[in-house]
């Protein structure tokens, strides 16, 4: 199923705002459901080196792996690729007077952050998925 207005597939997980508010903290709701941004440098995963999988904090879908995480020194966790090509949805974001590309969880359409290209980081994709820590839940490798 596809949303007629955006061409983006409909989310598999659909909850009302009230249901999301029951499931998420106010800070999580502000970022994940209202496209907010946590302050730079405060997120729990900004500098973590723990091996594992990063899931969507809202729905639990796998999004990123520690093997694609790198230190960008931008104040948020950075990844050069999602764990699977269909794990995230990219859509244009022209808010705040700038052109960016928003990253959404493909499973529940929660806001994760933005992806930037061509910044010169020495990564295989030349991309930086700049993701809010509060949008993620790290499941450490065993």
Q: What are phi and psi of 68, to 5 degrees?
A: -105, 5
- Alpha-carbon gap, residue 16 to 88, rounded angstroms: 21
With a CB cutoff of 8 Å and minimum separation 6, the contacts of 26 are none
The DSSP bridge pattern shows strands 78-79 and 127-131 to be: antiparallel
- Residue 72, number of CB atoms within 10 A of its CB: 19
Query: Which residues sit opposite 114 in a β-bridge?
Result: 102, 130
Going across the sheet that includes 62-65, the strands are: 62-65, 52-56, 136-140
Give the integer Cα–Cα distance in Å for 53 and 68. Answer: 10
Enumerate domains of the chain plus CATH numbers: 17-140 (2.170.150.20)
Tell me what pLDDT residue 138 has: 98
pLDDT value of position 3: 41
Is 108 tagged catalytic? Answer: no
pLDDT, position 5: 44
Query: What residues does 45 pair with on adjacent strands?
Result: none
Q: Which of 59, 105, 108, 130 is catalytic?
A: 130
pLDDT at 140: 96
Structure confidence at residue 6 (pLDDT)? 59
User: Residue-wise pLDDT tens for the chain (142 aa)?
Assistant: 334 445 677 888 889 999 999 999 999 999 999 999 999 999 999 999 999 999 999 999 999 999 999 999 999 999 999 998 899 999 999 888 889 999 999 999 999 999 999 999 999 999 999 999 999 999 999 8
């Amino acid at each position: 199923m596809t949303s007629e207005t955006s061409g983006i597939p409909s989310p598999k997980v659909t909850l009302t705002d009230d249901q999301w508010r029951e499931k998420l903290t106010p800070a999580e709701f502000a970022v994940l459901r209202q496209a907010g941004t946590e302050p730079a440098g405060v997120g729990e995963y900004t500098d973590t080196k723990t091996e594992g999988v990063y899931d969507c904090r809202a729905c639990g879908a796998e999004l990123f792996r520690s093997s694609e995480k790198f230190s960008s020194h931008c104040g948020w966790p950075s990844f050069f690729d999602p764990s699977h090509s269909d794990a995230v949805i990219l859509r244009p974001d022209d808010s705040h007077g700038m052109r960016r590309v928003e990253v959404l969880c493909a499973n529940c359409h929660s806001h994760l952050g933005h992806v930037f290209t061509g910044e010169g980081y020495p990564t295989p994709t030349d991309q930086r998925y700049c993701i809010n820590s509060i949008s993620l839940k790290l499941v450490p490798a065993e």
